[in-house]
Structure 1
Amino acid sequence: MPPTLGKNVRDTKMQKEANVVLGEDWDGPSSGVESELRKRREQRGFISLNRSPLARKIITFNLLALVILVAGVLYLNPFRDSLVLQRERGLVIETQLVADVLEAHFWDAETLPNGASVFANLAKLSLPAGVDAYVYNPEGTLVASTIGIERSGIPPVSGLVQNTRSTLITDFLNSMWEGVSGLFTSETESDGFGSTVEPPLEFVQKTSDGSTQVNTGLDSQGRAVFTVATPILVGGVNLGSVAVTSAEGEIDFLVRSEREQVLQMFVIAILVSVGLSLVLASTIANPLSDLAAAAELGRDKNARKMSPNRVRIPDLTARPDEIGRLSGALRGMVTALYDRIEGNEQFAADVAHEIKNPLASLRSAVGTLRVAKREDQRDKLLDVIDHDVRRLDRLVSDISNASRLDSELVREEEEQFDLLKMLGNINDYLGGDAKSKGVEFISDLPAEPIHIHGLEARLAQVFVNLITNAISFCEDGDAIRVWARKRENRVLIVIEDTGPGIPDQALYKIFQRFYSERPAGQFGNNSGLGLAISKQIVEAHGGVIWAENIRPTDADITSDPLGARFVVGLPV
């Protein structure tokens, strides 16, 4: 930790200017990973977002559905089919009206008059521009037509003026399609016929049975042309046929206008979709990029031999989505990893310190043994050496068990078992050891079984350790009581003894590694890892363990305790 001596901690202005960090808040220089992440964020722009594979996927998938929708609308072309049907119905009505007019003029004729009379009647009709009529006799010979007749035009009607729309997008796409298709297809004759060419004879002769015929075709330029033929009937006699053709391309213009509107909306939808996709991608890709960059920068810097930096995962937990959860999970994982690393470092330091004590005692005893003259002194020194060797062996064994505990707790499979049955077996086994020492052993367990989910062998190790500790602190005439009670969703297992109790200053230290509070006669007989291992096992099962002294009711808390109590709480 950086030195803070000489700073006036009450001078808040000085602290703010100096950016003083006290205690455990300091874990590295501020110019580490965070500064590089800040630089990357400042340099980030649209280009960097465009390089993001995730952003490209978001934009692509958002546009794909829109493109399929518009392509389907243009391919199915529902508005063109509707317009064609309406135009065909309208042209049928126009043709029948023309036939009715001719029938009214020639109501008393048995055959069609000459062409001049029919032409005069056609000239009186006010047909729209581009619409032409043809009259045929029963043999299929053209009698007269409106070709060449000067038309004054129909006066405009208010509300029916067609609004001419620009179709730049549609015309551009059509020209591209015609250019591409022209490279792979050869020119063929049109299936239909134009309005400037009279309808085919076979089409007109189909009306001889009194039916109306409708034909939709294309002229030489690919424009839609509609033709309707109907018979002229007077008194049930067929005087001939009349055929009316529509203007070239009138439906195509309307279709282009409708397609233009669809394409304009498509362009606007694309712009909106791309904009929203970019916003969505920035809220997803950028935070994920920051998380990945923080991990990569920390990895790269820690891989160097000099000036490693702590990995700092950006705090995005304020986001109410999966990215916020991911940030919190990564921060928790990094914190747990560093805690584990620091714990291992502290454990290694504690191991080295604990091993030094018996080694120093051994060195001293061996050195003294070389100069000892008396046999009783040599025997006493050999006893010290034997005691230290056993202490080292026990210490190394406990250290080995403690170091493997984490991995073994992860590998072993949990199962459901009867906790009271396990405690009963332990009480039967250790009760004999207590009675041989003159210690009364009391087992107070419920009659009904209590089933829990966990590692039976590891939990048994905990209770064996606690009961063994209680026996070691008791003397002849003391008592040990083991009892258990179920409380809602937890079960409490309590080990009580009437021994000397635990010093108040040691209540929170006895679960630390290598800490041992033993009488002078038992020095060196324990490694101080038993309670630490027990705490680790209980917490791995989601439980709690604590120690307290047993005191008489309403007594002074500073009075001598009546014994010690260890409580283990486990989830049911």
Structure 2
Amino acid sequence: MAKSSSALGTPEAAARTSLTTRILAVNIFALAMLAGGFFYLDSYRAQLIDARLEETATQVRLIAEAYAVTPPAGRPQLLSKFGLLTDTRLRVYAYPSPTARAAEVPRSFDSWSVSGPTYQLRDPAQEEWQKRVARFLDRSIDIIVDADHPEHFHEPDHDTLAAWPIALRATRDRNIATSVERAPDRTPMILAAIDVRRPDGSGAVILSTENQRDITRIVRAERLRLGVVLLIVVLVSVSLSLFLARTIVRPLRRLALAAHRVRLGRAREVQVPRLPERRDEIGTLARALSDMSMAIRQRIDATEAFAADVTHELKNPLASLRSAVDSLGIVKDPALQKQLIDVIRDDVGRLDRLITDIAEASRVDAELARARFESVDLGTMIEGLLTTREERGRNGDVRVAFARPHRGTAVVFGDGSRLTRVIENLVENAVSFSPAGGLVQVAATRDGDDVVIRVEDEGPGVPPDAREAIFNRFHSDRPEGEEFGRHSGLGLAIAKAIVEGHNGSIVATDRDNAPNGARFVIRLPAWSR
């Protein structure tokens, strides 16, 4: 069964709607709430009419009381003055006899016959076009707000008591009756009637009619002011919405296009806009995406270079291995066969070391990203490492000295096993370059906010132009006389990757006040509680 949803009520619908449309929709919704002021105006008009009804009822009551105590000869003048003062038309319907029916009660007095008209019912067909437009707006807004629809007011052809339902109601209820009707030009007519008959049935009914044109004028004036304000707010809101959408959507569109080109990979150097002039979240996002794309590009370049280096490094032992294997089936001399077998064994061992180091180099970054760091006392760690090397005889005839720091002074925050690998690679490198009987010195000290580790040897040292290259993968500068293939050239590269993964640095320099030898200096942020 299909499920329906509102236009913007689901994430799928929002995803199909542009950001500009959503910004405009939100702002226009707020404007629609402001437009609800028209409902308030309808309520305001109803309150004005109710107040006028109460005021008219009070006036008619006062007129009736004055009418009752005034001699018959003075009543016409009294009613005409009241009509002039209140802008109303007062009519009197006097009962000719106590038993007379309403249809038989004619109009006995009309204030207009004395004072003249106090209001004028206007013919809509004779008014200017502005008034017609105003009435059209009145009708439209009344339909929107579902306003009440009073009956149409019209003067009866035969002005008798029976022609006025409100007068009949006042007669029936023996009380004041009021009502609102609508003049031809849609202005409200306030009607009020009161029965002033005596208990014997003689007397009259007084009817008051008044055209409250000022109510329509007040409401229209308020509506005009509200409309002007609403129009200004709409223009400002739409302008600000478009400006906001432009400042948000356009840069996001540029970033999305650049990201799409990066994903397609059709251009080697895709420039993601950095938007340096933006100092907001979008500018931060742009620069983050730009940095991310450059990091991805560098990672891809490094991966491609690494793959090319791996291919190159594997070809040499594989070529040697293939040659030895092919020759082994041809050579019949046992001595030569033994030499070929030794070559195969060495090549296999070389491949094994190379593949092991390649695997270590390729996964060091990923493992550092997942590692759980903890406080590591480098003094204790280095001491244990060097003791193990000495016990296994891995230093040969080279002496290794360690200036152990005070406990707790050389503490960093990191992965202990990885940091052990760094020191192991540096010590192994120093031992391999040291002459027979040479001395390798290891030290760990605290320097301000850093822990500094130094590994020095008495070997030939590192030429200044090679101090960056030695940290590249598969760098092949080895000491003279070393058997080929014993090292993969990845030790220092792995050490640098681990150090930088701990927000540290590693450099190669000359030893102080020494004719030869190399010094490797590692700086790591010290751990503080």
Q: TM-score, normalised by structure 1?
A: 0.69
Corresponding residue number in structure 1 for 2:160? none
1:394-543 pair list within 5 angstroms: 394-410=353-369, 412-420=370-378, 421-432=380-391, 433=393, 437-448=397-408, 452-522=412-482, 523-543=484-504
Corresponding residue number in structure 2 for 1:65? 30
Please tell me whether the aligned partners of residues 294 and 312 of structure 1 are also in contact (alpha carbons under 8 angstroms). Answer: yes
Report SS of the residue matched to 2:470: coil
Q: Give the direction of change, closer, same or farther, for the CA distance of 1:217–1:431 in structure 2 (3 Å limit).
A: farther
Q: Give the direction of change, closer, same or farther, for the CA distance of 1:506–1:89 in structure 2 (3 Å limit).
A: same
Name the stretch that deviates more: 376-385 or 351-360: 376-385
Report SS of the residue matched to 2:461: coil
Q: Which one-letter code corresponds to 1:489 in the other structure?
A: D
Select 2:76's aligned residue among 93, 106, 119.
119
1:49-88 pair list within 5 angstroms: 53-72=18-37, 74-75=39-40, 77=42, 79-80=44-45, 83-84=48-49, 87=52
Looking at structure 2, the residues matched to 509 and 470 of structure 1 have their Cα atoms a distance apart, in angstroms, of 17
Q: Which one-letter code corresponds to 1:543 in the other structure?
A: G
Q: Give the direction of change, closer, same or farther, for the CA distance of 1:466–1:262 in structure 2 (3 Å limit).
A: same
Looking at structure 1, the residues matched to 131 and 490 of structure 2 have their Cα atoms a distance apart, in angstroms, of 86
Q: Give the direction of change, closer, same or farther, for the CA distance of 1:407–1:148 in structure 2 (3 Å limit).
A: farther
1:43-442 pair list within 5 angstroms: 53-72=18-37, 74-75=39-40, 77=42, 79-80=44-45, 83-84=48-49, 87=52, 111-114=69-72, 116-125=73-82, 127=84, 131-133=88-90, 144-151=109-116, 166=130, 171-176=135-140, 190=151, 197=164, 200=167, 217-219=180-182, 224-226=188-190, 245-297=209-261, 299-300=263-264, 302=266, 310-363=269-322, 365=324, 378-410=337-369, 412-420=370-378, 421-432=380-391, 433=393, 437-442=397-402
Looking at structure 1, the residues matched to 411 and 129 of structure 2 have their Cα atoms a distance apart, in angstroms, of 81
Q: Which one-letter code corresponds to 1:494 in the other structure?
A: R
Looking at structure 1, the residues matched to 132 and 237 of structure 2 have their Cα atoms a distance apart, in angstroms, of 22
Report SS of the residue matched to 2:469: coil
Q: Which runs of 5+ in 1 are unaligned?
A: 1-50, 155-163, 233-238, 303-307, 553-558
Displacement, 1:281? 1.5
Corresponding residue number in structure 2 for 1:8? none
Please tell me whether the aligned partners of residues 187 and 211 of structure 2 are also in contact (alpha carbons under 8 angstroms). Answer: no
Please tell me whether the aligned partners of residues 410 and 444 of structure 2 are also in contact (alpha carbons under 8 angstroms). Answer: no
Q: Give the direction of change, closer, same or farther, for the CA distance of 1:177–1:77 in structure 2 (3 Å limit).
A: closer
How many aligned positions are there?
A: 479
Corresponding residue number in structure 2 for 1:570? 525
Looking at structure 1, the residues matched to 179 and 382 of structure 2 have their Cα atoms a distance apart, in angstroms, of 95
Please tell me whether the aligned partners of residues 204 and 241 of structure 1 are also in contact (alpha carbons under 8 angstroms). Answer: yes
Displacement, 1:550? 0.7
Please tell me whether the aligned partners of residues 474 and 489 of structure 2 are also in contact (alpha carbons under 8 angstroms). Answer: yes
Q: Give the direction of change, closer, same or farther, for the CA distance of 1:473–1:299 in structure 2 (3 Å limit).
A: closer
Displacement, 1:407? 2.9
Looking at structure 2, the residues matched to 502 and 407 of structure 1 have their Cα atoms a distance apart, in angstroms, of 30
Please tell me whether the aligned partners of residues 442 and 479 of structure 1 are also in contact (alpha carbons under 8 angstroms). Answer: no
Q: TM-score, normalised by structure 2?
A: 0.74
Corresponding residue number in structure 2 for 1:556? none
Corresponding residue number in structure 1 for 2:125? none
Please tell me whether the aligned partners of residues 431 and 441 of structure 1 are also in contact (alpha carbons under 8 angstroms). Answer: no
Tell me if 1:548 matches 2:509: yes
Q: Percent of aligned pairs with the same residue? A: 33
Q: Give the direction of change, closer, same or farther, for the CA distance of 1:380–1:78 in structure 2 (3 Å limit).
A: same
Q: Give the direction of change, closer, same or farther, for the CA distance of 1:546–1:92 in structure 2 (3 Å limit).
A: farther
Q: Give the direction of change, closer, same or farther, for the CA distance of 1:441–1:464 in structure 2 (3 Å limit).
A: same
Q: Give the direction of change, closer, same or farther, for the CA distance of 1:96–1:252 in structure 2 (3 Å limit).
A: same
Name the stretch that deviates more: 470-479 or 77-86: 77-86
Q: Which runs of 5+ in 2 are unaligned?
A: 1-15, 120-127, 157-163, 197-202
Report SS of the residue matched to 1:246: strand
Let me know the Cα RMSD of the aligned residues: 4.4
Corresponding residue number in structure 1 for 2:7? none
Residue by residue over 1:359-415, the C-alpha shift from the partner in whole angstroms, topping out at 9 and shown as x without a partner, is: 3434555566677686655544443332222112211221122223333333x2423
Displacement, 1:146? 2.2
Displacement, 1:112? 3.7
Please tell me whether the aligned partners of residues 195 and 245 of structure 1 are also in contact (alpha carbons under 8 angstroms). Answer: no
